[in-house]
Each structure stands twice: as C-alpha cells, then as structure tokens.
Amino acid sequence: MLIIRDDYVSPEDNLIEITERKGIGHPDTLADMLAIECSKAYAKFCLKNYGCVLHYNLDKLYIGAGLFKYEEGKVIKKSNIIVNLNGRVTNTMNGEKIDLDNIFKPVIKKYLKTVLPRLDVENDLTININSTQNTKRDYWYSPRDINDVPDYKNVTAGDTALCVAHGDFTFCESLALYLESILYDKTADGYMSPKYKDIGQDIKFMVSRIGKKVEVTICLPVLRGCYKNDMEYDKIIKKYERLFYKSLDNFDNPRGYQVVIRVNYKDDGTIDKYTLCIGTCAECGEEGIVGRGNDGQGLISAFRPHTVEAPFGKNVRYHTGYAVSFMAQRAVSRIYKELGVRCMIYAITRNRNSLYDPYVFYLSVDNKQDEGKIREIISSEFNKDYLDKIFEKELV
C-alpha cells in the first residue's frame, strides 16, 4: 500500500549542501557503465534468440590495474588495463552453448574506445569473462527450456531490497552534471564522446554550498604530450576554467547563487599537476568496482537519503535494484515535471514477491494538494502491463 506524506525536505532548503560527481572516466563510473552495457547486450541477445531474458547478474564488474608511463616523449605501456566481468550468467539454453565472449567483449571494447579514445582496446586491454553458473537451484543458469525460466511469465522481485529515488535536482546537483556534459558529445549509441583532446576523462566534480555561495572544485587531468612545461600546463587549466565559467551563462540560477569554480587548485593557491596518459586512473593502478561511485541518478549527494543498492548490471527483467529503480525514477520524475511536486520515493520488495506493489511503499512530497493525480502516476508506472509494453525499448 502506498503511503504519501507531505514531509519532503530538499537539500536545497538546507544551509549546507554537498554533491559529488565521479566523471565518465573514473574507474568506478567505468565499472558501472560497462556493467549496464553488458547487461543490455545480454538481455537483447536473449530476447532475440529465446524470446525471454535468461537468468544473470553482472553487478560485480571490475576494471583497473593498468600501468602506463610517459617516457622520452612517448606513452609506454607497462601493464594492461584489466576488465573482469564477474557474475553468474546463463551459458546454455536447451543444451545449446551461449558464446559469452562474443556477446560481452565487443561491447566492452566499443564503450571504452568511445569514452577513452586514447586507449588501444585491442592491445592495451585484457578482458576476462569470469562467470559461473553455480547455484542451489537446478537449471537456474542452464535451463532445459523456457519453463525453467519461471519469471518469463510470472515476474517477481529477485531480491529483498530497498530502492530510493528523487524527482527534483537541486542547483548543486544539476550543476555537477551540467559541467561535465559540456565536455562531451553524445553518439548515436548514447555514449559520451570527448570533445577535447588535451584532457582526460577521469574528472571529479565536487560541489559544495553554504548559504548562497557555491564552490565547485574540479579535478581535471591534462594528457601527457599535450604540454611541454609548467607554463603550458597552467595555460590549459586556465582555458578550461574559463570554459566552465562561460558555460554558466546557459545555466539557470533562479536563486542567485554566487558560483566560484576552481580547477586543480591547491589550498596555497597554486595549480596541482594532475596528468594522465590515457585518460583514466585505471591506467596507473587504480581500480573501479560496480556500486562504489555515483548512484543510479549519476551523483553522490551527501544530504540525500540513499541506498547502496546499485542498479548497474543487475538483471533488467526481475531484479529489484534495476526494475524497481527504473519504475521509481520514472514516477518521481513525472510527479515533479507534471505537477511541480518535489518528492522522494522509498520502495522495499521481498524476494519472490510482487515487483509492482512493494511491501513498504512510501512517497515523501512537499505538497499533497494533487494527491489523486500523484497516485495515478504511481499506479501507471508501477504497472506490470505497462512495464511489459515498454520493457524492450526502455529497460533494454
């Protein structure tokens, strides 16, 4: 049963707010997005070949451990970047072998080549499809036929889990997402392709606000080989600082916040030397794992209620972390856009129980005046027939 209460408090209304965004090239973000792309690729393969999504979960993907150095004017690879696709995946159907390498490896290479154009995905990348089919349920990951995939017809929640989503974004949250977006173009596949060749993609945006003053700290890597000395390095940093400031001309600021942007500044006022060869700290030993970075809405908002239930790589058909998060985000976004009501939803499902009627279902709003319309939106989004209708187009 849905409970609605008018007790929503936005971080925007607090004296202090802090929001972080790990950029597209951060190892944790790479892990999240690779898990999503692999999940979608596998689901599409299953739908095309078997008419249903087979059992899988790919939410333990790892990327990192590479080592690249800049020596005598050249980028030298010491060790490959590693991608381990960990998780349980159905690899046979009715005795027919499913070529997992052929599904996952091209997707991983395509995504990384797009977002990290300096990476030679054929020679500088090691991909391990580290999947198992171990389970106490007979035929769960090796179905004899479609009858061994019970959620094909009767979709139930695949986990006991909590999902949380908010419909509005504060100025600070929107700003963190916006400042990164100006550095990229979107491809036909929906991937983010870098516009600029002298900076990497492992960028962090930390946005803090005290009262009316907003301070944005940006950690921006300059690519080796794009500058000859400290003066040229500083010139590149200043160029992007001006670009970020200029972009504010196109960003709504209805509350009149004073925005200060600092790129690579240390406390003593000097510019820190943050450099990379490829564009991600995965090239210098850092590691990324699904669920350690941004939430499902792309941010780490310190003053928002949240859950560690990461949606990335989870089964698109029945896992609470993906399917319920999807429905929840659509619902609260519609409530805000259509009714102007700021809100946050909390939904808990029980394993093998209803995916569409969570046993704890709570919506916090800042205005209950349109409660009837709010309930209509929730009912239309948490709806099996509707989800089935849009499943392949929207979720996959």
Confidence (pLDDT) at 317: 86
Question: 92: domain range?
Answer: 27-133
* 343 to 63, 161, 216, 277, 311: CA distances (angstroms): 35, 20, 26, 43, 20
Report residue 265 CA to chain centroid gap: 27
Q: pLDDT-based confidence at 266, cuts 50/70/90? A: confident
Q: How far apart are CA 265 and CA 249, in angstroms?
A: 23
Q: Are residues 210 and 258 in the same domain?
A: yes
* 191 to 40, 187, 197: CA distances (angstroms): 14, 5, 17
> Is the pLDDT score of 272 beyond 80?
yes
**Which segment of 63-67, 74-78, 267-271, 359-363 scores lowest on mean pLDDT?**
267-271
DSSP-derived secondary structure letter, 195? S
Q: What is the CATH number of the domain that holds 280?
A: 3.30.300.340
The answer as to whether 148 is a domain residue is no
> Is the pLDDT score of 282 beyond 90?
yes
* 25 to 107, 168, 234, 335: CA distances (angstroms): 17, 26, 22, 32
Nearest to 126 by CA among 91, 63, 185, 80: 80
Q: Are residues 381 and 320 in the same domain?
A: yes
Q: Are residues 391 and 318 in the same domain?
A: yes
Token pair for 206: 């930390």
307-359 pLDDT, tens digit per residue, is: 878 899 999 988 888 899 999 999 999 999 999 999 999 999 999 898 889 99
Q: Determine if residue 256 is left, alpha or beta; phi over 0 gives left, psi from -120 to 50 gives alpha, anything else beta.
A: left
Token pair for 144: 């004899």
Dihedral sign, CA of 367, 371, 373, 375?
Answer: positive
**Which segment of 113-117, 222-226, 246-250, 312-316 scores lowest on mean pLDDT?**
312-316
Q: Are residues 228 and 275 in the same domain?
A: yes
> Is the pLDDT score of 393 beyond 70?
no
Report helix, strand and coil shares of the chain as percent, to nearest 5.
30, 25, 40
> Is the pLDDT score of 386 beyond 90?
no
Q: Are residues 6 and 50 in the same domain?
A: no
Confidence (pLDDT) at 321: 86
Confidence (pLDDT) at 319: 86
* Count of C-beta atoms within a 10 Å radius of residue 1: 8
Count of CA atoms in the C-beta half-sphere (13 A) of 95: 0
Q: Are residues 331 and 380 in the same domain?
A: yes
Token pair for 251: 């960003």
Q: Are residues 281 and 312 in the same domain?
A: no
**End of a domain among 261, 289, 317?**
289
Higher-pLDDT residue of 348 and 272 is 348
176-209 pLDDT, tens digit per residue, is: 999 999 999 999 989 999 999 999 999 999 999 9
Q: pLDDT-based confidence at 221, cuts 50/70/90? A: very high
Q: Are residues 299 and 359 in the same domain?
A: yes
Q: Determine if residue 190 is left, alpha or beta; phi over 0 gives left, psi from -120 to 50 gives alpha, anything else beta.
A: left
pTM attached to this predicted model:
0.96
**End of a domain among 267, 289, 311?**
289
Q: Are residues 327 and 354 in the same domain?
A: yes
